[in-house]
Amino acid sequence: MRAYVIDGGFGFERLKIIERPMPSPQPGEVLLRMRAASLNYRDLRMVTGAYNPAQPLPLVPLSDGVGEVIAIGPGVTRVALGDRAAPILVQKWVAGEPEPGVFDSLLGGPLDGVAAEYAVFPEVGVVKIPAYLSDVEAATFTVAGVTAWMALTGLGTVRAGDWVLVQGTGGVAIFALQLAKLFGANVILTSSSDAKLARAQALGADRLINYRATPAWGALVRDYTGGRGVANVIEVGGAATLVQSLLAVRWGGQISRIGYLSGHALDPTLVPEFERQQQADPFALLIATLTARIQGIASGHRTDFEALLRAAEQHRLKPVVDRAFRFEELPAALAYLERGVHFGKVCLDFGVPAA
């Protein structure tokens, strides 16, 4: 079988296709013939070495994929031959609070990921995929879908009529927009592209903000919400957007920090900006800093994934796929993701015909 590996160092030039022996499932394991995968910002950083420079190599990248069960080991009961299944991101995290060491079982680093034609997983580490989803669509849920689900349904539970602020139009952001509307919430979405804002409006976004045209968008969010602020901020910008997120969130609301597209180190302009905004709107920042919760969202467990899929199937939620590259085009797909021009998810179609 063919598989991608990062070997001999990091970088796109170190990502190559190799031949590997076909794996066989052992007791309690399933063998998937992979049909599709999707890309996350974490995958890009893993390939370039920015995510974990100490990651042992070689490594098969990517954490999101869908395949067909073509063989099962003794004792397997959760799936059957012919089922479509997706491996979960954290293979040892089935439910509840994560136990120590559970994040050592992340696909795509430190464990081998799904950028291979065949892969074996423990049966406890896969979920069955609803029939209404295509392979490429199904491959988008594992990280982006579950992360958005957890941001909206976990500690920061969103109710009908609430306001939610979504930053950007990447995979997590668009899932958050779709799910928030499914829950009956109102959505304010920010982007630097008017064209992307128009597409977000077609998906149901209620208010749109071009953050390049309006850098101090926190105050505008408060205007849009009658001075109250939003219940939940889907915060993907990192240090560069945190002050505006604090201005935008309501009393007792949540800022769900997801990723760090603008960097995770403290921006040296953050404190001066905070002080400037405090002078301009001291009451709003006082409310935010005293009552709002900043919650890191690290995707979710298998039970969360299955709950998301049940909700998606009931409402026939269709994820937004920006573009699907061929299996052989993974380096080009990662480069496309790096450019940041996508709207929704960037995917790989392995070109495997349906059974």
Per-residue pLDDT of the chain (355 residues; tens, 9 = 90+): 999 999 999 999 999 999 999 999 999 999 999 999 999 999 999 999 999 999 999 999 999 999 999 999 999 999 999 999 999 999 999 998 888 899 999 999 999 999 999 999 999 999 999 999 999 999 999 999 999 999 999 866 899 999 999 999 999 999 999 999 999 999 999 999 999 999 999 999 999 999 999 999 999 999 999 999 999 999 987 777 888 998 899 988 999 998 644 344 444 444 444 444 444 555 555 555 667 788 888 789 999 999 999 999 999 999 999 999 999 999 999 999 999 999 999 999 999 776 5
Residue 18, SS3? strand
DSSP state of 102: G
Range of the domain at 35: 2-140+319-349
Query: What's the CA dihedral at 143, 145, 147, 150 to 10 degrees?
Result: -140
Is 313 inside any structural domain? Answer: no
> 8 and 135: one domain?
yes
- In whole angstroms, give the CA distance from residue 288 to residue 248: 8
Same domain assignment for residues 84 and 161: no
Compute the distance between CA of residue 147 and CA of residue 300 in angstroms, rounded to an integer. Answer: 6
pTM for the structure as a whole: 0.91
Residue 86 lies in a domain: yes
In a domain, 314, yes or no: no
In a domain, 159, yes or no: yes
Distance CA 126, CA 84 (A): 10
Whether residue 106 is found in the same domain as residue 235: no
C-alpha closest to that of 137 among 33, 202, 87, 64? 64
Total structural domains within the chain: 2
CA torsion through residues 34, 39, 43, 48, sign: positive
